[in-house]
Amino acid sequence: MNLQTIVKIISAVLGLLGVIFLFRIIGVGDEEIKMAASAGDFGSVSPLVSLAIAILLITVVVTLLFSLINLASSKQKLKKSLIFIGCFLAVMGIAYAASSGVETPMKDGEVLSASGSRWVGTGLRMFYILAALAIISMILSGAKKILKR
């Protein structure tokens, strides 16, 4: 039995479970699920959520596994990947250093901690830095193509 057959069987089983859980939720009905949820009972929705989490974990593990196997096959690929990971961590360090955190009240009455606020700022600054780098690289690539003609 080859890997493709095994993957098809596992996919079919997980898909069938998803359909069964979906029909179970549809059979219970919206109002009954809402009433049960307000009482703290998520029994009809929990299996579908657990299946989704399991599928996500399987996908992440398989993706990482095959990526690492592919990287291990070539030292040049591994070196490039480590350089890009290092650059990404450097951008994260710069964004974290540029961010500050302030306790912030949220709409639901809870308070976002100063540390949480700093990480939100870090994420936003990383997005801006990486977006700017992407735009600059596209402009330079286009200019390089124009100048070569």
Q: Tens-of-pLDDT digits for all 149 residues of the chain?
A: 788 899 899 999 999 999 998 888 888 887 888 888 787 777 778 888 899 999 999 999 999 998 888 888 888 888 998 999 999 999 999 999 999 988 888 888 889 899 999 999 999 999 999 999 999 999 999 999 999 87
Residue among 19, 9, 49 at smallest CA distance from 33: 49
Residues 4 and 63 in one domain: yes
Residues 80 and 67 in one domain: no
Residues 64 and 31 in one domain: yes
Q: Which of 32, 48, 73 is the last residue of a domain?
A: 73
- Residue range of the domain that includes 61: 1-73
Whether the model clears a pTM of 0.75, i.e. scores above it, the answer is no
Residues 3 and 54 in one domain: yes
Residues 31 and 69 in one domain: yes
How many Å apart are CA 27 and CA 25, to the nearest integer? 5
Domain count across the chain: 2
Residues 84 and 142 in one domain: yes
CA distances from 41 to 29, 38, 64, 118 (A): 14, 7, 35, 35
How many Å apart are CA 54 and CA 9, to the nearest integer? 16
Residues 80 and 69 in one domain: no
Q: Each residue of 120-142: b (16+ CB within 10 Å) or e?
A: ebbeebbeeeeeeeeeeeeeeee
Residues 5 and 31 in one domain: yes
CB 126 within 8 A of CB 92: yes
Residues 37 and 6 in one domain: yes
Q: Which of 46, 73, 100 is the last residue of a domain?
A: 73
Residues 146 and 79 in one domain: yes
